[in-house]
């Protein structure tokens, strides 16, 4: 070949070779991940990756697509890809200078799965230059995922009970009024033989004879109308009380009614007067009521009202006669079945019990199977009462049968839509499915339900709103409440919460170990992990891959 031609060709080949030289591997030192290690928040693993391409690195005609990968045993999950371009590339991606290099920021999120606890975050680089593309070596930028938030357990919540209204003792009152003529205190036969008095005497006599009723007392309250002098009215009201008491003592003896008899009298019944005026259709009643409020002295009140001559005539005919009476009130305790009787009948003859007695029977046993059986009987005997269905669902939830629980709660909701306790329980079902929006909607209809605050606390935990969760739990003593406090770094309160858990389990001690790790208390770590694993051997595997304990040697415990 002619030497004159050879030299230019050689130079052209060298330029082409240099121009096609691939971009080299990148060092992990160019990248930073926040947080590191990664952490589960609201069921996801978020990461912010910052980094830079060094000077004289990024080829002017190249585009680089960077994809984060969380790599774990058995698989990997890709995050959001970002594309960057060289200075001579026409496009809308961030341009990186060849001479100066450039800084980048990437935000990505991975849907959490348990395998990610032991994982590595890598960056994958795909370079395209012209029609050619190639891969750069992956770069490891972070290691492991803290999954403490995943300890949150909606299944540990207690559904709302649709309570019975059973009362062992029901209070009853029987009443009768004996009316008097103006300025008289004698008992008239027409009053003593009135239908009201006959009903009163029959009811009291029946109560005295009934084995499940007890007369706790009989009271006589006698009154005079406020249209006479105070001295006269005092004597008159007292005489009415004395005469009524004397008569009633004889009647109680005759009917074999044994009960304490008490009495009192009111000389001028201004309160009764005011009440009757308020309920009346008297044209000037507002004026009368103003007079009552203006004057505190009863005699002055009386004078002012009598000055309204036409109005006073109406009062004398329609209101005042109703204030001359003795009211007799018998107080009765109706005593219900004993616990032993109710339990026996629930097993042998449930149809003989009222719905409230049957629901109450379920509270008399600690056996979940017995409770479930009683509540199912309630649904069969009283199919239109939602409480039996709701409470069967509660038992299924506590037994871990979430599908059955949902079925029973839906039956309760069909009978009594939007009932607070049923709505709360349906919200719990949605929590177990990670259907947070539906759960929140149901909880919004659950005002006043027992356990609602804890349910809201779990909802906020699962959404990653830890401060709101801690406020919702308040002073609740549960594992979930303590977890919220740990995640908000209130370790002293979390420790006190766990100490107050009524029935500590493996999770209780595991959380105590987490607190120990976060407060540099190695003894608390080992002691509590030992307790947790003793109660649940699966905790050993969990602890072995838990980054909370990364700086502690727990190899002898977590086997």
412 lies in some domain: no
Residues ≥6 apart with Cβ < 8 Å to 183? 228, 232, 236
459 lies in some domain: no
208 and 132 in a common domain? no
Q: Which residue has the tokens 């109680």?
A: 252
Q: Which long-range contacts (CB under 8 A, 24 or more apart) does 463-467 make?
A: 463/42, 463/436, 464/41, 464/42, 464/43, 464/44, 464/149, 465/42, 466/149
pLDDT for position 295: 75
Q: Is residue 10 very low, low, confident or very high in pLDDT (cuts 50, 70, 90)? A: very low
Q: Span 24-35, mean pLDDT?
A: 96
Cα–Cα distance for residue pair 50/30, rounded to 1 Å: 8
- Using DSSP's 3-state secondary structure scheme, residue 519 falls into coil
110 lies in some domain: yes
Q: Is residue 15 very low, low, confident or very high in pLDDT (cuts 50, 70, 90)? A: very low
Instruction: Supply 209's token pair.
Output: 């004879």
183 and 48 in a common domain? no
308 and 191 in a common domain? yes
- Tell me how far CA of residue 174 lies from CA of 43, 142, 177, 198, in angstroms: 63, 80, 11, 11
Evaluate if residue 474 carries a pLDDT over 70.
Answer: yes
Evaluate if residue 219 carries a pLDDT over 80.
Answer: yes
Question: Where in the sequence is the domain holding 106, given as residue range(s)?
Answer: 24-146
Helix and strand counts by DSSP (H, E) for the chain: 22, 15
Sign of the dihedral defined by the CA atoms of residues 301, 304, 310, 311, in that order? negative
127 and 191 in a common domain? no
pLDDT for position 5: 45
Q: What is the pLDDT of residues 340-399, one digit of tens each?
A: 999 999 999 999 999 999 999 999 999 999 999 999 999 999 999 999 999 999 999 999
Structural contact between residues 37 and 148, judged by C-beta atoms closer than 8 angstroms = no
Q: Which helix (H) or strand (E) holds 83?
A: strand 82-85
Structural contact between residues 395 and 371, judged by C-beta atoms closer than 8 angstroms = yes
pLDDT for position 28: 96
Q: What angle do CA 325, 328, 331 make, to 5 degrees?
A: 155
Q: Is residue 8 very low, low, confident or very high in pLDDT (cuts 50, 70, 90)? A: very low
State the pTM of this model. Answer: 0.73
- Using DSSP's 3-state secondary structure scheme, residue 9 falls into helix
Cα–Cα distance for residue pair 443/459, rounded to 1 Å: 10
Please provide residue 185's backbone torsions phi and psi, each rounded to the nearest 5 degrees.
Answer: -130, 5
Cα–Cα distance for residue pair 297/292, rounded to 1 Å: 9
CA dihedral (504, 505, 506, 508) in degrees, to 10, reads -40
Domain boundary among 306, 335, 364: 335
Cα–Cα distance for residue pair 386/393, rounded to 1 Å: 11
63 and 196 in a common domain? no
199 and 142 in a common domain? no
Q: Residue 91: give its domain's CATH number.
A: 2.60.40
pLDDT for position 559: 61
Structural contact between residues 220 and 261, judged by C-beta atoms closer than 8 angstroms = yes
Overall domain count for the chain = 2
Evaluate if residue 18 carries a pLDDT over 70.
Answer: no
pLDDT for position 79: 97
The residue that leads in pLDDT, 475 or 225, is 475
Q: Is residue 160 very low, low, confident or very high in pLDDT (cuts 50, 70, 90)? A: very high
Give the DSSP per-residue string, 319-370.
TGGGGSEEEEEEEEEEE---HHHHHHHHHH-GGGS-HHHHHHHHTT---HHH
pLDDT, averaged across the chain = 91
pLDDT for position 558: 61
- Tell me how far CA of residue 110 lies from CA of 43, 70, 71, in angstroms: 9, 8, 11
Evaluate if residue 6 carries a pLDDT over 50.
Answer: no
* Max CA distance (Å), the chain: 153
Domain boundary among 335, 368, 398: 335
CA atoms within a 13 Å half-sphere pointing along the CA-CB vector of 472? 21
Domain boundary among 305, 320, 335: 335
Residues ≥6 apart with Cβ < 8 Å to 255? 201, 204, 205, 208
Q: What is the DSSP letter of 545?
A: T
The residue that leads in pLDDT, 287 or 254, is 254
Cα–Cα distance for residue pair 359/371, rounded to 1 Å: 9
54 lies in some domain: yes
pLDDT for position 12: 41
Q: Span 468-497, mean pLDDT?
A: 97
Give the DSSP per-residue string, 157-208.
SPPPP------SEEEEEEEEEEE--TT--PPPHHHHTSHHHHHHHHHHHHHH
């Amino acid at each position: 070949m002619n030497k004159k031609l050879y030299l230019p060709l050689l130079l052209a080949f060298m330029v082409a070779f240099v121009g096609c030289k691939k971009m080299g591997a990148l060092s992990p030192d160019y990248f930073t991940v926040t947080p590191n290690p990664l952490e589960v928040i609201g069921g996801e693993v978020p990461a912010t990756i910052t980094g830079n391409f060094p000077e004289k690195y990024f080829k002017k005609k190249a585009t680089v697509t960077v994809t984060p990968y969380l790599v774990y045993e058995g698989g990997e999950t890709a995050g959001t890809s970002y594309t960057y371009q060289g200075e001579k590339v026409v496009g809308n991606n961030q341009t990186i200078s060849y001479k100066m290099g450039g800084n980048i920021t990437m935000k990505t999120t991975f849907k959490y799965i348990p395998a990610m606890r032991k994982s590595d975050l890598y960056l994958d680089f795909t370079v395209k230059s012209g029609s050619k593309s190639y891969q750069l070596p992956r770069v490891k930028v972070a290691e492991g995922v803290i999954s403490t938030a995943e300890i949150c357990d909606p299944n540990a919540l207690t559904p709302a009970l649709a309570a019975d209204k059973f009362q062992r003792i029901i209070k009853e009152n029987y009443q009768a009024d004996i009316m008097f003529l103006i300025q008289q205190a004698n008992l008239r036969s027409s009053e003593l033989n009135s239908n009201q008095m006959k009903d009163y005497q029959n009811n009291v006599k029946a109560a005295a004879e009934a084995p499940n009723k007890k007369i706790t007392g009989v009271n006589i309250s006698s009154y005079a109308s406020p249209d006479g002098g105070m001295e006269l009215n005092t004597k008159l009201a007292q005489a009415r009380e004395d005469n009524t008491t004397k008569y009633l003592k004889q009647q109680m003896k005759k009917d074999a009614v044994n009960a304490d008899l008490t009495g009192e009298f009111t000389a001028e019944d201004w309160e009764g007067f005011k009440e009757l005026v308020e309920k009346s259709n008297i044209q000037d009643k507002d004026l009368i009521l103003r007079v009552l409020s203006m004057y505190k002295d009863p005699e002055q009140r009386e004078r002012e009202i009598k000055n309204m001559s036409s109005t006073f005539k109406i009062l004398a005919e329609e209101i005042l006669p109703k204030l001359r009476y003795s009211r007799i009130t018998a107080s009765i305790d109706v005593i219900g079945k004993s616990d032993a009787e109710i339990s026996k009948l629930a097993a042998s003859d449930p149809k003989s019990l009222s719905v409230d007695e049957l629901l109450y029977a379920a509270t008399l046993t600690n056996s979940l199977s017995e409770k479930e059986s009683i509540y199912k009987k309630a649904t069969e005997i009283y199919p239109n009462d939602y409480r039996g269905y709701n409470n069967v669902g509660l038992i299924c939830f506590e037994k871990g049968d979430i599908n059955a629980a949902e079925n029973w709660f839906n039956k309760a909701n069909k009978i009594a839509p939007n009932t607070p306790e049923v709505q709360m329980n349906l919200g719990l079902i949605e929590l177990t499915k990670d259907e947070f929006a539906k759960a929140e909607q149901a909880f919004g209809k659950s005002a006043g339900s027992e356990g609602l605050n804890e349910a809201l606390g779990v909802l906020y935990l699962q959404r990653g709103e830890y401060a709101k969760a801690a406020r919702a739990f308040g002073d609740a003593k549960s594992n979930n409440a303590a977890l919220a406090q740990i995640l908000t770094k209130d370790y002293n309160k979390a420790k006190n919460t766990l100490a107050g858990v009524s029935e500590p389990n493996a999770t209780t001690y595991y959380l105590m170990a987490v607190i120990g790790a976060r407060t540099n208390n190695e003894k608390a770590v080992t002691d509590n992990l030992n307790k947790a694993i003793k109660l649940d051997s699966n905790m050993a595997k969990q602890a072995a891959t838990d980054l909370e304990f990364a700086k502690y040697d727990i190899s002898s415990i977590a086997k």
